Amino acid sequence: MRLVKFLAHGGVASRRKAEEIIAKGVVTVGGEVVTDPAQDVEVGDDVRVNGSPVGVESREVWAVNKPAGVVSTAREPGGRPAVVELVKTEARLYPVGRLDVDTTGLLLLTNDGELANLLTHPRYEVPKTYRVRLRNAIADRDLERLRGGVQLEDGPTAKAQVKRLGGREIEITLREGRNRQVRRMVEAVGNEVDTLQRVSFGPLRLDDLPKGKARRLSDREVAALREASR
């Protein structure tokens, strides 16, 4: 197994973050510093990060209904609650993507770096659906603009699925993952987000999971997530 994959499976970080950690020269294998993420390692090798041993953990995937005010990080130096604190497990989990601190709803946590990469890499276009309550009523012409893509400062957005739920409420499904994308799209059509909730990630739906609670996904649900990225 490649070193970067070993670290991801060991719950250290996602593959992309693990590559950054390796490049810093803080990873050792058998007491020797290794900076090549492709170096082969085996289960049982003495792999350490900053002197702490790394072993391959049993892989876990959890769904969390993130409340507002909780940050989508593994640790929060500023004192605000971090989403990993909502999960009761000994595994070292990290979020699959992020939700803004004021955005609520479905967030996945895992120690499976390969799965996290499949679900977040732009080329796999895994859909995510959000329920949006707007500050003002939205016209049909603006819904069509959102469906066709709008111009943002970092380029035009891809086409989106948009469904009207009420005068000030819509549901939008994206296959991109830009920073604060839903909020910026709404602002581009002259409106503003009042509340924002993610209700699905690929085939997985939030359903009746209570706010602030978490549940571990079944093997069947994890398999369905993997299938969604193909």
Buried residues in 47-56 as b, exposed as e (16+ CB within 10 A):
bebeeeebeb
Is 72:87 a contact under the CB 8 Å cutoff?
Answer: no
**182: enclosing H helix or E strand:** helix 181-188
Is 124:229 a contact under the CB 8 Å cutoff?
Answer: yes
Is 7:113 a contact under the CB 8 Å cutoff?
Answer: yes
The Cα–Cα gap between 100 and 67 comes to: 10
Is 78:66 a contact under the CB 8 Å cutoff?
Answer: no
List the catalytic residues.
100
